[in-house]
Structure 1
């Protein structure tokens, strides 16, 4: 990142175009040359500084200013290519860049003439910060228009005055709650309700007309916080009522992060609270310091790599076969109306697709349809859907017990119980009634697609579509390509997943594929710790400290303890059939005792690693768990070992899946682990965690060997990892220099 020059002679030569009308109103139109969106890079800040110079020089002839955009979006935010490349040695340049941006905005903001933002599309991050620096904000409504400061989701904080201005505009509590800490992307109507914008209009003509009308009505406009005697809504930390509330935000961060190394929420809270106690210029300085710390740190690089670059790569279709025409589905069949099948039917219908939901009885099919009705009713209650939209959605789902009703479906997804024989029976019946061009899919989470393909006569049109539960909330679908799956089928599946608003990763066939196999390692490791004598509460704390959304034992209870036992039996049978040696895991014996000796099968059975009340609510860990299942007695292990064991077993097995050819893309691995199985966001995903580990791949190899010496050969570095470390390589294309001094676990 290079600090911008002080000024430029001609703003029209860069990304900001100047136009002054006969009425004395200057329109600054942002239009970065050669780019699809405006970004806050060095060229933009240089142009903004030049515009400020010219506005000050021609102040006597300027009656008002309109800031708008020539792009479809208003402004896309910071230039992440520049930000992710900045290392600790670039801290001064990062700070100077933020200071130059703030200075230019502040000069325009304090000219003494009205400044209006005509927001003609999405304004996120730096885009909203630009608008907040204007006295009046008018937004052109649109179904996809969003406004917000989502920097926290990339491990950053708003560095263009967003913290200082939202705190003064909304108050500390509302700014933190509604804008800063969650990074929520608001609709125009919600932004208006919150007070982030002043008007929402329906046409470009109305937007520009309203901007001029505001300038006419407010010839000497100023920001509220520049008015004499202005007080921050709700007060400052010195205000007794606010002082009583602020500790709850700190407690919220502790609960949310669980001790994981997520510095962005902490820095945002600090910048908001500290900035409220000084003048506006001091608040901007505080914000820049906290911003710089995050930009040059490793966590923001991990999160930006995954949640921007890798996610964009995946959604753009890097794994989609080239040359295959785009396909849009009109009618989908779903066989099996349980929670999973009903969820698939709901998300397809929500995307405007007609759905045939089939089960063995009409009553079962209607129960599945009722599940979708409950989901849309909840959306209506929250104001996210109208009654008419809800009625239209549920009308698109046809519940039936007749498999012949699947005729005419372009895609059929089988979502019955995880049993090979049952799936064979269902798939064969489906193929008999659908057309020869229909795409055939199975929603299996563990069974190899190749084995299931034996039931169909067109294996080239068959693949796995692994949805995650609950389907309406989980953004990922794992597409599993069988050995005989054709490119046409894979492209059609990819297009369907994008059509229903989900993110598709593509993996090759194998038992458990990617996500199910890797999360199984996480669960096994936690159970193994309990068997070693680690306090169960420490195991759950280790998961929280590592950044997992749910404790190991709590998650296993949700999935049921019988599931890994069934998967183990299938794996063992498959190994035997292939003439391979079966190696039991240290967790196996403990799981067997939980089920066979104590009858504890998980939450659905009323008892597992946790106790449950009559209403099914979790009531704490089973008090006898540690003493009954750790024959060697209690042991105390370093918390760093416990957290890294959980992280390393998933990362190491992901590398093995690359070696085996199940995973073919680093981006798919990172995105799939984050969106599908809850790998901690701060890591950037299973392989980005390896890239960003202190010392890079060499440091990761050294730590893996330590863990292998202490806890077993499952932590031994795979050959691919050793080869990359020896060659000085990283996994995949990365856009930064690793910062070895940033700790992986705090």
Structure 2
């Protein structure tokens, strides 16, 4: 066997040690399935084997889920087309059959879990008769498949409810929520939490002491699901009756997997396990066959992991971890960056114009850490982290820093002055990163003597929670700066994308169109409530007007005014410009002053302001919600396509990752480029032509899109040459 070491001790207990070669974490692939099949046959047939224990041979943890490259091959035939639904069912049912054979092999089987055990690995554990887990704060167990467009397809949707009850299990599976060891034990998901490193011994002891415990509870006559199940059980009916509308509301009917999961649980929970797992595989195959799952897996898992592992990092550059960070600006962004840097073990000099601001920045670090006490943060760890942050007003204190991040006021002159002061202390060989959301990096780099060492490092607020960092290359940014920035992002465990310079770069520029189109719609007299609901139904985290309030309408006007001044005649006016200006003139600046598109009464709930009807009279004829959704979606799509044609984006992978993790673009699509590929470029062009004819040139398709439509190309296959390199 290549993936499993099979050993039998003097007591007749077989130990199956999983160690998939070439993988940092054990995953389920064809070789593992073949080896597990052979191992189960031995366990069941050899009289000398009294029971078995399954463990991991890797320090990284027990096991993750399916090898996604293998999973993709299960969904494609030799010519690249998707096979018939029956063939997909046969492919995905293999794992279910195997785990069922394990739990009915007639011998007791225990699982020894040390470290991460998720997805298919956790489903393997659930198929064992007992589960023992080593107690470590880093250990996580559970079924997170819903987060990448799938649901548990190896028996998890049937075994977990039979162990912990339908209501509780659905709460975990529908959210992709993971268990810590103590929590898993409390919910009876594991049978024993033992000192770290002793799970194997505990599992062996149980097998030795229980030679006849080879039947799962659900295979015993008279078994009842904890909390009850079935159409005549009031609690079960109430749970399912509530779960469906809640899930539809949460997903806005856009996600396939959560509804399929509910169906699998509802239909399978009262059936014998052999029939229940067929129900599960039926729904799993249906979800897997839809492009939604493939798109989500590609962006949210495969490409995201590749980005975090350095897919865009210059290969010839030596590793350049940051040990001392010079953080310029102690506002919300600067303090947030200081927090994640200090947590990653770096020394941070937190610089601001006066000591009170700098101290306030460090107080922010302390406040964030305090909220994590008892959740992986100890008082000792908190004290050590805080000790690494030094607030100062003295440029000289920056000496020795090997990386600089600037997050001062969004003004070219102010940034230039700070940049020159820092160079006087550190020298131009130090890599300098500017955290700006709109100002061109090439222009800011003029203040640094070696522009090849100047780079954009765009964080999102709140820094501690937002997973994305947009790395922006100026015209002269060199490989050493790229490597340094990406190594820093890896240290703070965030996801990077790499883009080229332009006003607004990729994320701010493309996200801004969502807000702008919302304002355009208000200006046309469209009901603001319709606009907001359409945005949420589209799959965006919130409506365009609400997010405009949060970001600040006033800030949007300032950015627009600065762009007009900078670009002069080259500035392309937007219909939203006058609308946003009218809001600012009416002193409706956004949430910051308690009134924007919404009103924010003290102690009350925000609500769309009735004043909007006076500022922008309501049109007699209102569009259908689908029409509004289409405008909000395609205004973003065309801007993303422009960024690709212009070379702001080099890869569709960066475009999809940046959209979902940067501004919350509808995750079920896999991102704007995946979505355009899925619906077809010719369809995208046709819709854009129709919208451009009705609403103006902001919707006009790019030349590249037209060429792709004519050639049948897609973004994830070779595309025609760009208008600009």
TM range (shorter): over 0.9
Partner of 2:583: 594
Asked whether the equivalents of residues 407 and 435 of structure 1 are also in contact (C-alpha less than 8 Å), the reply is no
1:610 counterpart = 2:594: no
- In the TM superposition, what whole-angstrom CA distance separates every residue of 1:618-674 from its partner, at most 9, and x where no partner exists? 42111232453146x243223222212222222211121122121112111111111
Alignment of 1:536-575 (within 5 A): 536-575=528-567
TM-score normalized by structure 1? 0.91
Partner of 2:53: 66
Partner of 2:655: 669
Partner of 1:146: 140
**C-alpha distance in 1 between matches for 2:132 and 2:201:** 10
Alignment of 1:40-51 (within 5 A): 40-51=28-39
Partner of 1:3: none
- 2:282 alignment partner, one of 280, 283, 289: 289
Partner of 1:697: 681
Partner of 1:311: 304
- 2:69 alignment partner, one of 67, 81, 84: 81
Asked whether the equivalents of residues 670 and 685 of structure 1 are also in contact (C-alpha less than 8 Å), the reply is yes
**C-alpha distance in 2 between matches for 1:706 and 1:79:** 42
SS across alignment from 1:493: helix
Asked whether the equivalents of residues 310 and 670 of structure 1 are also in contact (C-alpha less than 8 Å), the reply is no
1:464 counterpart = 2:459: no
Partner of 2:387: 395
Alignment of 1:640-655 (within 5 A): 640-655=626-641
**C-alpha distance in 2 between matches for 1:389 and 1:273:** 45
- In the TM superposition, what whole-angstrom CA distance separates every residue of 1:180-202 from its partner, at most 9, and x where no partner exists? 11112334444334432223445
Superposed displacement of residue 234, structure 1:
1.5
Partner of 1:379: 372
Partner of 2:642: 656
Superposed displacement of residue 156, structure 1:
0.6
Superposed displacement of residue 456, structure 1:
2.1
**C-alpha distance in 1 between matches for 2:128 and 2:337:** 44
1:519 counterpart = 2:508: no
Superposed displacement of residue 487, structure 1:
1.1
Alpha carbons of 1:33 and 1:603: their partners in 2 closer, same or farther (altered >3 Å)? closer
**C-alpha distance in 2 between matches for 1:370 and 1:252:** 39
- In the TM superposition, what whole-angstrom CA distance separates every residue of 1:81-139 from its partner, at most 9, and x where no partner exists? 24335165332122123333222222221233210112244222111000110011123
Partner of 2:692: 708
**C-alpha distance in 2 between matches for 1:648 and 1:187:** 42
1:135 counterpart = 2:135: no
**C-alpha distance in 1 between matches for 2:620 and 2:113:** 61
- In the TM superposition, what whole-angstrom CA distance separates every residue of 1:205-264 from its partner, at most 9, and x where no partner exists? x232212101122221132323333321221153323433444433431332133x1111
Superposed displacement of residue 718, structure 1:
0.7
- 1:722 alignment partner, one of 670, 691, 706: 706
SS across alignment from 2:606: strand
**C-alpha distance in 2 between matches for 1:48 and 1:355:** 50
Asked whether the equivalents of residues 437 and 508 of structure 2 are also in contact (C-alpha less than 8 Å), the reply is yes
Deviates more, 1:603-612 or 1:650-659: 650-659
1:687 counterpart = 2:680: no
Partner of 2:331: 338
**C-alpha distance in 1 between matches for 2:478 and 2:150:** 42
SS across alignment from 1:123: strand
1:27 counterpart = 2:15: yes
**C-alpha distance in 1 between matches for 2:33 and 2:696:** 54
The aligned length equals 709
1:623 counterpart = 2:617: no
Asked whether the equivalents of residues 431 and 453 of structure 2 are also in contact (C-alpha less than 8 Å), the reply is yes
Structure 2: state its 5+ residue gaps. 77-81, 719-725
Alignment of 1:400-411 (within 5 A): 400-411=392-403
Superposed displacement of residue 418, structure 1:
1.0
Partner of 1:236: 229
1:535 counterpart = 2:527: yes
**C-alpha distance in 2 between matches for 1:728 and 1:508:** 27
**C-alpha distance in 2 between matches for 1:192 and 1:372:** 34
Structure 1: state its 5+ residue gaps. 1-11, 735-746
1:185 counterpart = 2:174: no
Alignment of 1:398-477 (within 5 A): 398-477=390-469
Asked whether the equivalents of residues 355 and 393 of structure 2 are also in contact (C-alpha less than 8 Å), the reply is yes
**C-alpha distance in 2 between matches for 1:345 and 1:220:** 57
SS across alignment from 1:376: helix
Alpha carbons of 1:533 and 1:635: their partners in 2 closer, same or farther (altered >3 Å)? farther
Asked whether the equivalents of residues 119 and 137 of structure 1 are also in contact (C-alpha less than 8 Å), the reply is yes
**C-alpha distance in 2 between matches for 1:15 and 1:401:** 58
Cα RMSD (Å): 2.1
**C-alpha distance in 1 between matches for 2:297 and 2:383:** 39
**C-alpha distance in 2 between matches for 1:731 and 1:626:** 42
Partner of 1:743: none
SS across alignment from 2:175: coil
- In the TM superposition, what whole-angstrom CA distance separates every residue of 1:2-55 from its partner, at most 9, and x where no partner exists? xxxxxxxxxx3x544433333211222334455554433344334333333333
Partner of 1:636: 622
Superposed displacement of residue 703, structure 1:
2.0
**C-alpha distance in 2 between matches for 1:239 and 1:705:** 55
- 1:220 alignment partner, one of 196, 207, 212: 212
**C-alpha distance in 2 between matches for 1:448 and 1:189:** 50
1:254 counterpart = 2:248: yes
Partner of 1:298: 291
- 1:167 alignment partner, one of 161, 168, 173: 161
Partner of 1:114: 108
Asked whether the equivalents of residues 64 and 122 of structure 2 are also in contact (C-alpha less than 8 Å), the reply is no
**C-alpha distance in 1 between matches for 2:597 and 2:525:** 14
